[in-house]
Amino acid sequence: MNAPQRVDAIGQWIRSEVGDADAKPIIATLVTDSHLRFYEKLQQRVTLAGRLLLLAAAPRRAGGQQDPGYEGMSFEQRRLAQDQRAARRG
């Protein structure tokens, strides 16, 4: 991918993480390839960590199968389902 596309992709990710106002000065520092590589690696690690957390928090049925419909739920719906399941367990 060329530099303008990489800057745009990382800029969008940074804005999604910290908001437009806080992202502006960070995005302004993306002036070298090493800056981009740093943020691309950071993005990969943050994304992977988030996926691992979701997998760890996913409710499982007996036999280790994931509850149906869990993949299509929003974060709030997943938390509600987890809380309801915990309440049923006592």
Residue spans of the domains in the chain: they are: 1-57, 59-90
The type of residue at 69 is G
pLDDT of residue 24: 95
What is the band of 9 on the pLDDT scale with cuts at 50, 70, 90? Answer: very high
User: Nearest 5 degrees, angle CA 70-CA 76-CA 79?
Assistant: 65
Statement: residue 63 has pLDDT above 60: no
Angle at 72 between CA 90 and CA 67, to 5 degrees: 40
- Alpha-carbon distance of 61 to 79, in angstroms, equals 16
Helix (H, G, I), strand (E, B) or coil at 67: coil
Lowest mean pLDDT among 8-17, 45-54, 60-69, 75-84: 60-69
pTM of the model: 0.56
pLDDT tens per residue across span 24-53: 999 999 989 999 999 999 988 888 777 777
Question: Do the beta carbons of residue 67 and residue 38 sit within 8 Å?
Answer: no
Per-residue pLDDT for 66 more than 70?
no
